[in-house]
Chains A and B, each alone.
Chain A
Amino acid sequence: SQQGEEDPQALSIQEGENATMNCSYKTSINNLQWYRQNSGRGLVHLILIRSNEREKHSGRLRVTLDTSKKSSSLLITASRAADTASYFCATPTGGGNKLTFGTGTQLKVEL
C-alpha cells in the first residue's frame, strides 16, 4: 500500500467553508510535504513540515503533523472555488531524495 494515504478520497464543500484532509503514513519520516494539482496539470508544492514541528501555517493553509500517530492534516480555511483541485501528501523514501505520494484527496469547492 502507499506510504502516504489521504482521507477522504473526495470532498465537496461550499465556498467559505473550511476543508480538512488527512494523510497517514507508515514509516518514520523527517518531513512531510503537501502538494496541489489542478485538473490535468502538474503538481505544485504547498508546504513542508518537519518532523520536529507540530503545526505550520502558510496563508489560508494550516498543516499539522502527529508523528506518534503517523498522520498529518491539511486545513484550508475560507475555501474558494479556485481551491478546487487534488491534494497529495508526500513523504521521503529511498534515502530521502525520492518522495512517495499518496493517492490524493479531490476537493471541490462550489459557489
Chain B
Amino acid sequence: DVKVTQSSRYLVKRTGEKVFLECVQDMDHENMFWYRQDPGLGLRLIYFSYDVKMKEKGDIPEGYSVSREKKERFSLILESASTNQTSMYLCASSKAGGRETQYFGPGTRLLVL
C-alpha cells in the first residue's frame, strides 16, 4: 500500500516564524502536491512537483515555497507565517500521467498565533 506521511499532525507557530512541513512517500511517485483545506473552500493547490527539483505554482502559492531535493520528499515552507495561513495542510503523491489516483497523507493542522 502507498504510504504518505507528514511530519506533524498538529503545529502551533507564532506570526513571523519560519515553518517547515515535510511530506514523504514510499511508492516512488513522480508527482507530489501540497494543498491547503479551509472550510467552505475545499482543497486548493499550493504547489506541485513533477520531478526532483522541479516545481510548479498552484492556485495559491503566495507566502509559500517548496523544496524537492529527493524524489520521496516534498517540503512546504512558510517563510514568515501569518495568521491567515492557519489551515489544514494536505500532502499527496501520484504517478505521472493523467489518470492517476492521488494518495494523501493524514494532514497537518497548523495554527498561527
Contact = CB atoms under 8 A, between A and B. Distances in A.
Asked if A and B are interacting partners, one says yes
Interface of A: 2, 30-31, 33, 40-45, 48, 50, 88, 90, 92, 94-104
A50 B92 CA distance: 21
Interface of B: 4, 31, 33, 35, 40-43, 45, 48, 50, 56, 58, 88, 90, 92, 94, 96-107, 109
Contact of A30 (B45, B56, B99, B106): B99
A40 B9 CA distance: 10
Given A42-B107, A98-B45, 6 more contacts: A42-B104, A43-B102, A50-B99, A94-B56, A98-B58, A103-B41
16 contacts: A2-B42, A30-B99, A31-B98, A31-B99, A42-B4, A43-B90, A45-B101, A97-B50, A97-B94, A97-B100, A98-B33, A99-B102, A101-B35, A101-B43, A103-B40, A103-B42
Given A88-B43, A103-B40, A45 B106 contact: no
A90 B88 CA distance: 19
Most chain B Cβ neighbours within 10 Å, of A42, A95, A100: A42
A96 B107 contact: no
B48 to A, nearest CB: 6
Nearest to B59: A100
A53 to B, nearest CB: 12
Contact of B102 (A31, A40, A45, A95): A45
A50 B96 CA distance: 17
Given A88-B43, A92-B98, A103-B41, A97 B31 contact: yes
9 shortest interchain CB distances as A-B pairs: A96-B98, A42-B104, A103-B42, A101-B43, A45-B101, A43-B104, A42-B106, A31-B99, A42-B107
A92 B48 CA distance: 14
B66 to A, nearest CB: 14
A44 to B, nearest CB: 7
